[in-house]
Amino acid sequence: MMSIEKYHEALKKYAPKQGLILNPDWEVIKPLLEGLLKNGERYGYRSCPCRLAAGSIEKDRDIVCPCVYAKPDIEEYGACYCWLYVSQAWIDNKVPHVQVPERRPVEKILDL
């Protein structure tokens, strides 16, 4: 398994290419990175560690990190659901750091 530190370095390069900013707070993102790596081992894809995965890429495609909800969450709240990706305004404390509501349709959640 890739080390958390190596994965962190890879995401720091990947995020800007996707128009994303990785949360600079290591204490916040370390357990998220651990969860992503664990889900990668478990399922063969890195599903969001903050959500229940079905274990099927067909059912979980929307929550493969960065999930399809990340950019809308960042636009509206300044951070994605997990706080792995954030906006510059969020980093600069220009927007409140609130719990981001779940955007994933309940049908998807119940269809695990």
Tens of pLDDT, residues 18-74: 999 999 999 999 999 999 999 999 999 999 999 999 999 999 999 999 999 999 999
pLDDT at 11: 96
pLDDT at 41: 97
pTM score of the predicted model: 0.94
pLDDT at 20: 97
pLDDT at 109: 76
Please, which contacts does 98-103 make with residues 24 or more away whose CB atoms are closer than 8 Å?
Answer: 100/73, 102/51, 103/69, 103/72, 103/73
pLDDT at 98: 96
Residue 80 has pLDDT above 80, yes or no: yes
pLDDT at 63: 97
- Could you tell me if 79 and 97 are in contact, meaning their C-beta atoms sit under 8 angstroms apart? yes
pLDDT at 110: 74
pLDDT at 112: 60
CA distance 39 to 22: 19
Work out the pLDDT band at 107, boundaries 50, 70, 90: confident
